[in-house]
Amino acid sequence: YPGGERRVSSEFHLAARRKMSLLLIFVFQDLVVPLVRACFYATENEATKQRLTWYRKPVWARVRVCCVLGSQYVELTAAEAAAAKTIHNSCNGALRLLPRGNGKGVRPILNLGRQKFASKKYPNGLKSVNFRLRDALAVLSHETRKQPEVMGSSVRGQTHILQVLLPMVRGWKAAGKPPMNVASVDIHKSYDTLKVKKVLEVVDQTLSEPDYLIKRFAAWTPRRGLRFIQKARPSSEYHPFMQEAEAIAATTRNGVLMDLVEYNYAKRADLMNLL
């Protein structure tokens, strides 16, 4: 400046900084992001893991058409479409297509935990598929704990894997056998080859009670925060909260347990119809 260096107050500097921040927010929020959304579709790719892949909108539209015309989808009859529409009007799930890379097409992924909030089309919103199936999950979890043999060699998560694997590894080492090697394999199109009718037959044989009582609890721990727990038992068995809390505390320590006083009754026939 002609008169030497111009000194500004801290208030002026903060005001100028705030104006610049608002300008940048406007540029990215109202100009850059809408323009990118209008021209490109961004998604992750199985081949690139966490890196985003950008598709021009016409290219992505062509990919979606090829996927629909491919063997991953089948045409529904009028009765099947009406039944599917009835289910869709009561629950919601979001489908997205994940590119697989290397010319393998796309993998359809259905998010069954996504709900639809209230709108003009759905004034009351739509609950997610997982929300509708939570009673069935609680009942099946109870039956598999009661009858572990029906699960065969299946494991439920990393904790259960360790419970099965560690005794075998210790016995292997105690016997003086050579070092153990672990192989990771992937079954090609495992979900596509499941026999749904056979699964339903197994579920029908597993449900041993005509009616079930489902209770819901809330648990808060410093490590995991707030989470909800549901327990199912035969309707003829009623356990007070303190007895239920002792069982939950075996796996949920250093936390607070709350009884939500939500008791639902589920009939065996209704669960099978739902599944």
Nearest to 133 by CA among 141, 144, 124: 141
Q: Tell me how many helices (H) and strands (E) the chain has.
A: 10, 9
What average pLDDT does range 62-82 have in this prediction?
Answer: 72
Q: What percent of the chain has pLDDT over 70?
A: 86
With tokens 């016995």, the residue in question is 171
How many CB atoms within 10 Å of residue 164? 11
Compute the half-sphere exposure of residue 203: CA atoms within 13 Å on the CB side of its CA: 19
Q: With the C-alpha atoms ordered 34, 37, 40, 43, is the resulting torsion angle positive or negative? A: positive
> 56 or 91: which carries more pLDDT confidence?
56
Backbone angles phi, psi at 260, to 5 degrees: -80, -5
In this prediction, residue 191 has a pLDDT band, given cuts at 50, 70 and 90, of confident
Tell me the residue ranges of DSSP E strands in the chain: 40-45, 49-56, 91-92, 94-99, 106-111, 127-128, 211-221, 225-234, 256-267
> 68 or 130: which carries more pLDDT confidence?
130
Cβ neighbors of 241 (< 8 A, separation 6 or more) are 259
Q: Are 271 and 144 in contact (CB under 8 A)?
A: no
Tens of pLDDT, residues 193-248: 888 888 899 899 899 899 999 999 998 888 888 888 888 999 888 888 888 888 88
What span, in angstroms and rounded, lies between the C-alpha atoms of 119 and 127?
A: 13
In this prediction, residue 72 has a pLDDT band, given cuts at 50, 70 and 90, of low
In this prediction, residue 1 has a pLDDT band, given cuts at 50, 70 and 90, of very low
Tens of pLDDT, residues 88-117: 556 666 778 888 777 677 777 878 877 777
Task: Return the DSSP state at 76.
Answer: P
